[in-house]
Amino acid sequence: MSRLKERIDYQQRLSRVIAFIHDHLDDEIDLNRLAEVACLSPYHWHRIYHAINGETIAATVRRLRLHRAAGFLANTAMPIEAIAEKSGYGSVATFTRAFAAD
């Protein structure tokens, strides 16, 4: 398989993973399940994901959840406590630190 075909194959696999993450942002996201979606071993999948996207899967999930939280803050009257909980944070203080750092 040529390098270009291999990269396209990995991009397609990672696109499936990103779609899965978007569909399951409210759930606990398991590395092994994401590797299954990508049809790769967990080790190989995480290594490829980081190499192509430049961030870990944990960073991606955190970024996507915080991006969604920004939308909730800007476009809804949802209390910050509910947004923090929906974003996977146990307290408002932890949420605001993460939000400010990102």
CA distance 64 to 40: 23
Burial class of residue 24 in the structure, from the number of CB atoms within 10 Å of its CB (0-12 exposed, 13-18 middle, 19+ buried): middle
Sequential pLDDT tens for the chain (102 residues): 578 788 788 889 999 999 999 999 989 899 999 999 999 999 998 899 999 889 999 999 999 999 999 999 999 999 999 999 988 888 999 998 987 886
Residue with tokens 């080790």: 43
∠ CA 44-45-51, rounded to 5°:
90
Q: For the whole model, what pTM was predicted?
A: 0.83
